[in-house]
């Protein structure tokens, strides 16, 4: 059985989609780690009966508490699914080439600190781009600069709003993220 730990800060829709996609596979989400005590992913983790670990910025950045909790699960892969904090270098060194992220744009454009969710979609639309998409990449010490694993595109029309573009991006995430995770982990 391959073991995945997911980090999420928001609704947890990608976490639930990954869980659903792997229900009959030899892959299990063994824990969800969350930095936001109001995040929707908490309810999803409880409903799906996935162990949940809440932590604060100090525990994450300045102690080994989170590291030890992750190590207890012996993950084959750590998946960032809407997780908004930069990963400390010590965690990257502890899990080399075992942490991946999904970004809601075609990197290297529209990445970096502060570029998440609607901020990305607003920037894409304001720049009058004709394409957006997703990038799945390994995590390194810089926001959104790790080696790319996979990219997929969607059309941006003149009628798109940040909300309609987000809907298109979610479709790409749901279609591709579990499949790429499966390829990496097997």
Q: Tell me the catalytic residues.
A: 103
Contact 100, 177 (CB under 8 A): no
3-state helix, strand, coil in the chain (%, to 5): 40, 25, 40
Please list, in sequence order, all residues whose beta carbon lies within 8 angstroms of the beta carbon of residue 100, skipping any fewer than 6 positions away.
77, 78, 79, 80, 136, 137, 138, 139, 149, 180, 181, 184
Helix (H) or strand (E) holding 131: strand 131-138
Distance CA 104, CA 82 (A): 9
């Amino acid at each position: 059985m391959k073991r995945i730990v997911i980090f999420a800060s928001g609704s947890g829709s990608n976490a639930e989609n990954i869980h659903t996609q792997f229900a009959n596979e030899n892959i299990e989400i063994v824990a969800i780690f969350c930095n936001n005590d109001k995040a929707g992913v908490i309810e999803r983790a409880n409903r799906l009966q996935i162990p949940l670990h809440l932590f604060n910025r100090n525990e994450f950045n300045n102690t080994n508490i989170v590291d030890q909790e992750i190590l207890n699960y012996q993950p084959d892969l750590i998946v960032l699914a809407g997780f908004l904090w930069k990963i400390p270098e010590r965690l990257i060194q502890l899990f080399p080439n075992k942490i991946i992220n999904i970004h809601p744009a075609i990197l290297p454009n529209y990445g970096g600190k502060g570029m998440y969710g609607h901020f990305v979609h607003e920037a894409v639309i304001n720049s009058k781009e004709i394409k957006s998409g997703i990038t799945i990449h390994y995590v390194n010490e810089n926001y959104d600069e790790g080696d790319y694993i996979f990219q997929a595109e969607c059309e941006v029309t003149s009628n798109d709003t940040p909300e309609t573009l987000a809907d298109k991006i979610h479709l790409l995430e749901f279609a591709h993220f579990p499949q790429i995770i499966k390829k990496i982990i097997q």
